Amino acid sequence: MVTVETGARLHFGFQNLALAHERLYGGVGVALTEPRLVLSAEPAAGVDCDDAAIEPFVADAVSALAVEGARVTVEERFDRHVGFGSGTQLALSTLVAVARANDEYADARNYAPELGRGGRSGVGVAAFERGGFVVDAGHPTERFTSRPPSEGSWSVPKPMVQRDLPSSWRFVLVTPEGSAGKSGTPEEQSMRSVVERADPGIADDISQLLTRRLLPAVAEGDVSAFGQAVARLGRLNGAWYADEQGGVYRPPAGTLVERLSESPAVYGAGQSSWGPTVYGVTRAADVTEAKRTARDALDSVDEDGTVRVVTPRNTGASLES
């Protein structure tokens, strides 16, 4: 039996969504230690999984690898479509586990396009491979426009920057209960609409933000500057998405971000991907106050939900047999 363990990721936003620029997308995000995904695989005749929601991932892995089958047990996983990148982590974890269980080797990055992963952002794949803070290179706009190119004609964008974050940094995560973020066909339609209308001037602002504020903050380990920069990145991205999600943030994320941002224990806040999860950047020394602020924020929107404080993950997925 082979066991794979990995964590969630936050997606802070894209560098560019406008067709007027040479590079499209270019994800920015970070790997997290929690919430976690842990699953085990062993060889079998056919596809067998103890979690019906994950069985299609097992079937896809078996098909991609052209092996006889696998029996997969899901020991721990996080919710889907809440801003944690569960789909990519599930697809790649299942692939690697099924391959090793059948005495095969599978390079997650090479197989990701066949599994429908990494088509826009390369953050999830890079997080699976090595963890850390990630800025990926995006795609050439001429080939990768608002409509994805045909299968087999593209590869996952490679990291331009992939760096460890300080062990003292923390992310407070607020996930309100309710409807999940966009995925599948609705997400494709929304992204197509956003890209076709995107203001290229926003991408110019993001380029300056990235090189003058965000990357220096990472290089210098400045948590305050980092928090402010990713918060600004999120607001700029939200201007692109406003028509598709009902505002700069998807309600009630805007109120949660505002409440978190008011706390001196939180250095910046934003929405991960399509939400509903909201994050705040904090430090180990400020965890108690940051958690209290997060719970108060949930109360302010009269929502039930989950509050977590997690560390950045500076390693890739682990595999044990």
* Residues 242, 137: Cα–Cα separation, whole Å: 24
Token representation of residue 238 = 């939200």
pLDDT (0 to 100) of residue 190: 81
For tokens 């560019």, what's the residue?
A: 16
Query: pLDDT by residue (tens digit) across 270-308?
Result: 999 999 999 999 999 999 999 999 999 999 999 899 999
In this predicted structure, the answer to whether residue 151 has a pLDDT above a threshold of 90 is no
- Alpha carbon distance 28, 296 (integer Å): 28
Confidence of residue 144 (pLDDT cuts 50, 70, 90): low
CA dist., res. 109 & res. 191, Å (int): 23
Alpha-carbon gap, residue 27 to 111, rounded angstroms: 19
DSSP secondary structure letters along 178-241? SSPPP-HHHHHHHHHHHHHH--HHHHHHHHHHIIIIIHHHHHHT-HHHHHHHHHHHHHHHHHHH
Q: What is the pLDDT of residues 246-257, one digit of tens each?
A: 899 999 999 999
Q: What is the mean pLDDT of residues 40-52?
A: 97
| pLDDT > 90? residue 57 | yes
Q: What whole-number percentage of the chain has pLDDT above 90?
A: 87
Average pLDDT over residues 125-143: 94
**What's the pLDDT score for residue 110?**
96
pLDDT tens digits, 62-118: 999 999 999 999 999 999 999 999 999 999 999 999 999 999 999 999 999 999 999
pLDDT at 183: 63
Q: What is the pLDDT of residue 187?
A: 74
186 pLDDT more than 90:
no
What confidence score (pLDDT) does residue 29 get? 98
Under a CB-based contact definition with an 8 Å cutoff, are residues 17 and 196 in contact?
no
Percent of the chain residues topping a pLDDT of 70: 95
Q: What is the pLDDT of residue 158?
A: 97
**pTM of the shown model:** 0.94
pLDDT on residue 126 = 98
- Which tokens go with 66? 């052209």
| Pair type for strands 69-76 and 46-49 | parallel
pLDDT at site 146: 57
Q: Is the dihedral of CA 49, 54, 60, 61 positive or negative?
A: negative
Cα 173 from Cα 272, distance rounded (Å): 10
Residue 249's Cβ-count burial label (10 Å; 0-12, 13-18, 19+) is: buried
Tell me the pLDDT of the chain averaged across its residues.
Answer: 94
pLDDT tens digit sequence for 191-216: 888 998 999 999 999 999 999 999 99
User: DSSP characters for 65-118?
Assistant: HT-SEEEEEEEE---SSSSS-HHHHHHHHHHHHHHHHTT----HHHHTGGGT-S
Task: Read off the pLDDT band of 121 (50, 70, 90).
Answer: very high
Read off the pLDDT band of 150 (50, 70, 90): low
Taking alpha carbons only, the member of 135, 136, 112 closest to residue 61 is: 112
Domains of the chain (ranges; CATH) run 2-320 (3.30.70.890)
- Report residue 136 CA to chain centroid gap: 12
Q: What share of the chain is helix, strand, coil (3-state, %, to 5)?
A: 40, 25, 35
